[in-house]
Amino acid sequence: MFIIQDYTLAVAFTVVTMLCWGSWANMQKLASKDWRFETFYWDYVLGILLMSLVFAFTFGNIGEGGRGFIADIQQADNQSIQSAIIGGVIFNAANILLVAAITIAGMSVAFPVGIGLALVIGIIVNYLDNPVGDKTLLFGGMALIVLAILLNANAYRKMQSGQGSVSTKGLVLSVVAGILMGYFYKYVAASMFPDFNTPEVGKLSPYTAVFFFAIGVLLSNFLFNTLLMKRPFEGKPVSYSDYFKGSFKNHLMGILGGMIWCKGMSFNIIASGKAGPAISYGLGQGATIVAAIWGIYIWKEFRNAPKGTSMILNLMLLCYIIGLGMIIAAR
């Protein structure tokens, strides 16, 4: 299987993760305006599974190191498989709750609370499990990225000034989503053999781990997204027949969105072997600011922003860049 042997390449892979995780939601914007998130999400999940298989049968089967995908599945023990699947279930719950929080409380609440918590918890948990890197630089960089997320939230709050108080329900959902999002990566990392060059009996390769993670996302979606369709946080209930009425373009956008996200996940897991899970996850969660950059420069979300917003956004980008540099230097 393909294994990264160089830290610089590992960092490059986490940059791809940032771009993918911060960009997949654009596919929903490119779908029809009347295409509901609940129906889009089914294709998104299928895209994750499809891309996990693409990586498994390509990158997972080239090179002399590690263990091939099929051989890896055949020797995997139940504990490792379950750990990767649990990671997928936790991620899916967190992702759906985060979207619900955005719907109810808005970006200015959901992102700093949800993703900020996920970043902090994820780095701490993964560092304790596998303490790779200089902790001063790692946690200092983490603090600056959290500050960047807060500044981004403040810019959104300026845009939404005068729209009322913060929803308690939205805030609670953001907290729960953030806690769950901070823990999913730990279970995927625990399912793998730590040294990708030296396979361990029963443990999974990164490619097999992502595949079973995707299985967990798909299986849990029959519960989580079905409940969301029947009791949506916004709008009327959605039926399965509505999904099959979607156009080719709508379905394609959802699948591409899932494939983009899973490409980022796969690159991140592959990079974790050299960078360490805490650094790899921390850099990947910088995706929030990538999403903000899309909103600023492509979708022009701040074109009518009040005076002073541009200064906040520039400060946000500065904190983000310095924070990323510190996390990279931590190795």
Whole-angstrom Cα distance, residue 297 to residue 301? 8
Whether pLDDT at 184 is above 70: yes
Any domain includes 320: no
Mean pLDDT for the stretch of residues 205-225 = 98
Q: How high is the pLDDT of residue 165?
A: 60
Whether pLDDT at 114 is above 90: no
Whole-angstrom Cα distance, residue 168 to residue 220? 26
Q: Which pLDDT band, with edges at 50, 70 and 90, does 136 fall under?
A: very high
In the DSSP assignment, the letter for residue 243 is H
Task: Tell me what the pLDDT averaged over the chain comes to.
Answer: 91
Q: How high is the pLDDT of residue 29?
A: 85
Could you give the number of structural domains in the chain? 1
Any domain includes 2: no
Q: How high is the pLDDT of residue 310?
A: 87
Q: Which residue in this structure is represented by tokens 């042997």?
A: 5
Any domain includes 223: yes
Any domain includes 321: no
Model confidence over 82-100: pLDDT tens digits?
Answer: 999 999 999 999 999 988 8
Model confidence over 264-281: pLDDT tens digits?
Answer: 999 999 999 999 999 999
Model confidence over 24-81: pLDDT tens digits?
Answer: 888 988 999 899 999 999 999 999 999 999 999 999 999 888 999 999 999 999 999 9
User: Of 199, 2, 206, 196, which is closest to residue 84 (Cα–Cα)?
Assistant: 206
Any domain includes 279: yes
Mean pLDDT for the stretch of residues 221-225 = 97
Whole-angstrom Cα distance, residue 168 to residue 206? 39
- Percent of the chain clearing pLDDT 70 (strictly above): 98
Q: For residue 192, report the phi and psi dihedrals to the nearest 5 degrees.
A: -100, 155
- Flag the least confident range among 112-116, 182-186, 269-273: 112-116
Any domain includes 228: yes
Residue-range definition of the domain harbouring residue 268:
22-142+162-287
Q: How high is the pLDDT of residue 96?
A: 93
Any domain includes 85: yes
Any domain includes 100: yes
pTM of the model: 0.91
